[in-house]
A and B are shown apart, each in its own frame.
Chain A
Amino acid sequence: MKRYLPLLIILVVALITAGAATLLYRSKMGAPPAPTTSAPASASASASVSGSASPTSIPPQPDDELAHVRGPANAPVTIEIYGDFQCPACGIATKNLDEVAKDYDGKIRMIFHEFPLAMHAHAVEAAMAAEAAGVQGQFWPMHDMLYQYQSIWSKSTNPARFFVTYAQSLGMNPDQFESDQHSDVLKGRIMTQGDAGVKRGVKNTPTIFINGVQFRGEFSKEVFKSAIDAALAAKGKS
Chain B
Amino acid sequence: MAVIALCGLADATFLTAMHLTGDDSVCGPSSGCSTVLSSAYATMHGIPTAAFGLFAYFVVFSAAICAAFGYRRAPALLALTVAAMFLVTLWFLYLQAFVIHAFCPFCLLSAALTFVLAGITVATFPPR
Contact = CB atoms under 8 A, between A and B. Distances in A.
B24 A87 contact: yes
B35 A89 contact: yes
Interface stretch (B8-16, B82-90, B105-113, B118-126): B8-16
A107 interface: no
B71 A6 contact: yes
Contacts of B36: 204
Contacts of B81: none
Contact of B40 (A38, A89, A151, A154): A38
Interface residues of B, number: 44
Contact of B48 (A2, A28, A36, A218): A36
B31 A25 contact: no
B85 to A, nearest CB: 17
Contact of B38 (A34, A36, A117, A219): A117
Given A28-B21, A33-B20, A119-B22, A38 B13 contact: no
A10 B65 contact: yes
6 contacts: A6-B68, A6-B69, A14-B58, A38-B19, A117-B22, A120-B22
Interface of B: 6, 9-10, 13-14, 16-25, 27-29, 31, 33-43, 46-48, 54, 58, 61-62, 65-66, 68-69, 71, 100-101
Interface of A: 2, 5-6, 9-10, 13-14, 17, 20-21, 24-25, 28-29, 33-39, 84, 86-90, 92-93, 117, 119-123, 151, 154-155, 203-206, 216-219
